[in-house]
Chains A and B, each alone.
Chain A
Amino acid sequence: MSALQAAAPPQQVAAAGFGRTLHSEWIKLWSVRSTWWTMIALVILGAGLTTLICWGNAEWLASAEADESPGSFITWGMMIAQVCAVIVGVMTVTSEYGTGMIRTTLAATPARGRVLAAKAVVVTGLLFVIGTLTALLGYVGGNWFLDREGIGMSLDGDVARSMYGSGLFLGGLGLFSLAVGFLVRHTAGAISIVLALVFVIGNMVLLVPGDLGIFLERVMPGNAGGALASPVPFNPHLLGAWPSFGIFVAEIAAVLGAAWFLLRRRDA
């Protein structure tokens, strides 16, 4: 019986806090290589492409014929890097459904809302930090070329906001993707849905004429969330950075709510 006595009686186990679930999800996140590769790709794409596009366009932007603002270019790479945020967000959830490991997770932590919350915090926090740092790195690289043409921007105002705005956008997009992952429970399906919404449908609505078209341009998640990540968005129809981001947050809340509701109801 000695082995049994070693096991603490349940009532003596302090109520398993959110911290444990969070720690557990943190270990999960970093113990698979795909997280590392995706984060490395995010930094390279985000900072690298921003630097590249600024190098290629600095001369034109400084010339008289430029019809775009340098502010639209200084976080350009983040538009591509957001694919990595989608992948991390989705994979955090669907890799568990794909292997059946979700049942181990939910048996270890039967409070399902807590599992969802812990994954959300881990993914959003990671992407906010990496996203902001990547944007800063891209700014340093891109602005060096803009500076050479005399159109460099100082790191304040809308430019500074676009830095942590990039972090917030990627964090939000990761969260959105995670929620879709819980709804769809299938890696390819969830990634396709989010990428289609952000990249394909988000741009196709530009073809819709009239006020409806403008409305759709403003509210598509990629467009609404992305407004915060650029000092001067390419799309002039978008609402201001913060009102746009408010729309994005509302959309995330809706999808996350649906995910929470179904996760608690469905059999694992």
Chain B
Amino acid sequence: MIRAQGLTKTFGDRTAVKGVDFTVEPGRVTGFLGPNGAGKSTTMRMALGLDAPTQGSVTVNGHRYAASPAPLREVGALLEAHAIHPGRSARDHLRWLAASNGIPTTRVGEVLEQVGLDSVAGQRAGRFSLGMGQRLGIASALIGNPPVVILDEPVNGLDPEGIRWVRELARDLASEGRTVFISSHLMSEMALMADHLIVIGAGAILADCSMQQFMADHAASYVRVKAPQSTEVEALLVGRGLEVLRAGDELRVQGLDAPAIGELVGTQGLLLHELTLVRSSLEDAFMALTADSVEYHAKASQKVAR
């Protein structure tokens, strides 16, 4: 379990993390979602005792990370995939990590096999592709068989097969009862991986709820209705207490599903030209939620949005 209380970090006059409170529970995958520069990595670095909080605290398994005598057995973390000496082999990288926490060397072979790098274990990490580096980073996180796993942007640079692998790994780790905390700036990725979602923007928590709850709250859906006698149809639907919004020649109806609307209109002898369920994507919901907190807006995309 990871718990942040009033966690704050300032760099000079810029506040990267603004007094956030959250709890990451075991047994599920918690997605930590936010645009670049939202404070995800800073929060994770504070959880690992690398950056000192300006105010507040963050504890792992009930105590400060640095208080652990063998932290790799408690918390495994992937921070940056390229944070590996290019001249050192994957096996040697894991060997020194294991030695530093008194982890048996047999774990080195085990995690290499687990991430699928056993055949290239003797190669220098500098020759690794981005995806292989990412796998080695994940192997480093798992070396101590820790009950808490923190992965910062683990799917960056992975091919589709690798992305699916990370997704399944995260689910497996959570199903074993571990605390799994994964950051990403991609809503689509989180939607497939996370059970719980913590959304951060400009250093503040914008949402902290289950994935289903987030979908229900933010991924608005409506039924698009087009009819030749649209005024009559509108009156009929409003009369049934449904929310109807007129947009040009189409009606956007909320409160009843498409087949039910079709039957309702049909029994009144009215014609329909279109009846479509429209679901705004989670990506849109995420963009809308974090729109005010994004550090750098691309001017072009703003134009498109208008």
Which residues of A pack against B, CB within 8 Å? 1-4, 6-8, 10, 13-16, 20-21, 23-25, 27-28, 31-34, 95-96, 99-101, 103-111, 267-268
Contact = CB atoms under 8 A, between A and B. Distances in A.
Given A24-B99, A104-B97, A14 B50 contact: no
Contacts of A6: 145
A103 B141 CA distance: 13
Given A4-B178, A7-B146, A27 B71 contact: no
A85 B147 CA distance: 42
Secondary structure at the A interface, as helix, strand, loop or mixed, is helix
The majority secondary structure among interface residues of chain B is: loop
Interface in B32-54: 45, 48-52
Contacts of A108: 71-72, 97, 100-101
Interface in B57-93: 61, 65-66, 68-74, 77, 79-80, 82-89, 92-93
A20 B177 contact: no
Interface of B: 45, 48-52, 61, 65-66, 68-74, 77, 79-80, 82-89, 92-93, 95-97, 99-102, 140, 144-147, 176-178
A24 B97 CA distance: 7
A108 B82 CA distance: 17
20 contacts: A2-B176, A4-B176, A6-B145, A7-B73, A10-B70, A13-B70, A14-B102, A25-B96, A27-B99, A31-B89, A99-B85, A100-B83, A101-B83, A104-B79, A104-B84, A105-B100, A107-B72, A108-B101, A110-B66, A268-B51
B52 A104 contact: no
Contact of A7 (B82, B100, B102, B145): B145
B148 to A, nearest CB: 10
A36 to B, nearest CB: 10
Contacts of A104: 79, 83-84, 97, 140
Given A31-B96, A99-B84, A107-B65, 14 more contacts: A1-B177, A10-B69, A27-B92, A27-B95, A27-B99, A96-B85, A99-B82, A100-B79, A100-B80, A101-B83, A103-B48, A107-B72, A110-B71, A267-B51
